[in-house]
Amino acid sequence: MEQRQRKNAVAPAHAEPQLCQINQHRVLVVDDDPCDRKLTARILERAGYEVVTAENGARGLRMLAEQDIQIVVSDWLMPTMNGLEFCETVRSIESVGFVYFIMVTGQGERERLSEAFDAGADDYLIKPYDSAEFLARVRAGGRIVELESRINQQRRDLCKANAEMSMLNGKLQELATTDAMTGLMNRRRAMEKLDELFGIAARYKLPLSCIMFDIDHFKGFNDTYGHAAGDAVLKVVAKTAADALRSTDVAARIGGEEFLIIAPNTKESDAESVAERLRKSIESLAVQYEEHTLRVNISLGVAGLSTGVQGAEHLVKLADDALYEAKNGGRNRTCVASSPTPKNTPEMQAI
């Protein structure tokens, strides 16, 4: 009896609809009966659909992998891989994407329709079916495919917009916290970082030091060679300072030619050694600008928690006071806040 039902399974009850405008959806018809397969394809093609066919579920899977298919019309009873297994497999393969799945079944499987929906079917037809109803269900599937496509596009657009916004926010954050000339932290971000590190040092009784330094006779570079020369000097000094520090240290440009180094977990005496190494590194530089070789010196002030500071701003002020002591003492030298006498007193070098 089941076989007799299948012989006239897709014979239309009414005249086939007239040819309509081309439909953009591609339909896969899967049926092991060549007559039913051909008749179903013919109905769809006359309605403007592009149709591809397969004789079983296994072949249908290969076609889904190879072609862009939006709607599947599959018979239930087939050899090799039946419609239920086919549907379950389609839903388990993420790369296939969304397809609208219509299961076609005989009267004998009506009571098993829940299995089809559990397997992932979107709709069903019971043989023999009316061709007009069949096309109406396919059109309904097409509308759902289009809606799913729009939703997915909106998701992609939203993900793209979120990624662009995240990138923009990152750039804005970088602009807000970075000195554009040197690439170092700017004053605002450096002071935020110092507040954070000061709190940690105070809580856990850890050492913390700051080094303030500026470029000696910096105005002379601008006045003699132009501001582009001054910019070149700033960049070289900033890079030299950044390269000379440990990964835990923080370097920032906090003013025109003024820089701040924050040295966490560092005693004042050790910070003084860091400052001296940096001073000597800068002193050995030969900055090339056009046909000129520019020699650069810096003066430095060091302050640490051992000086009894009351807060981050106070620590910076002590380092700044030590810097001015170094300036007043002849430049190109390092002074420590708790010990104003310069630890290194080379002869003053005019630039």
Instruction: Given the residues 2, 85, 115, 257, select the one marked as catalytic.
Output: 257
Q: Is domain 2-153 classified as CATH 3.40.50.2300?
A: yes
Query: Backbone phi, then psi, for 256, in 5-degree steps?
Result: -50, -65
Instruction: Walk along the chain (351 residues) and give the pLDDT tens digit of each residue.
Output: 444 444 445 544 444 444 444 567 899 999 999 999 999 999 999 999 999 999 999 999 999 989 999 999 999 989 888 999 999 999 998 888 889 999 998 866 667 788 889 999 999 998 888 999 999 999 999 999 999 888 888 888 888 888 888 888 877 777 788 998 999 999 999 999 999 999 999 999 999 999 999 999 999 999 999 999 999 999 999 999 999 888 899 999 999 999 999 999 999 999 999 999 999 999 998 888 888 889 999 999 999 987 668 899 999 999 999 999 999 999 999 999 964 444 454 443 333
- CATH for 187-336 is 3.30.70.270
What confidence score (pLDDT) does residue 17 get?
47
22-41 pLDDT, tens digit per residue, is: 567 899 999 999 999 999 99
Residues 6+ apart with CB under 8 A from 245: 251, 261, 263, 274
What confidence score (pLDDT) does residue 9 get?
52
Alpha-carbon distances, residue 51 vs 11, 30, 47, 86, 192 (angstroms) = 18, 11, 11, 18, 65
The number of angstroms, rounded, from the C-alpha of 78 to the middle of its chain's C-alpha atoms is 47
Contact 30, 75 (CB under 8 A): yes
DSSP letter, residue 16: P
**Domain 2-153 identical in fold to domain 187-336:** no
Active site residue 111: no
Q: Which of these, 94, 90, 100, lies nearest to 149 by C-alpha position?
A: 100
DSSP letter, residue 17: P
Q: Angle CA(317)–CA(323)–CA(329) in degrees, nearest 5?
A: 140
Q: Which residues pair with 25 in a beta bridge?
A: none
What confidence score (pLDDT) does residue 48 get?
92
Whether the bond between 128 and the residue before it is cis, its omega within 30 degrees of 0, is yes
CA pair distance 87, 83, nearest whole angstrom: 6
- Burial class (CB within 10 angstroms; exposed 0-12, middle 13-18, buried 19+) of 64: buried
Share of the chain above pLDDT 90, in %: 62
Which residue ranges make up each domain of the chain? Answer: 2-153, 187-336
Handedness of CA 335, 329, 191, 176 (dihedral sign): negative
CA pair distance 297, 116, nearest whole angstrom: 82
* Residue 338: count of CB within 10 angstroms of its CB: 15
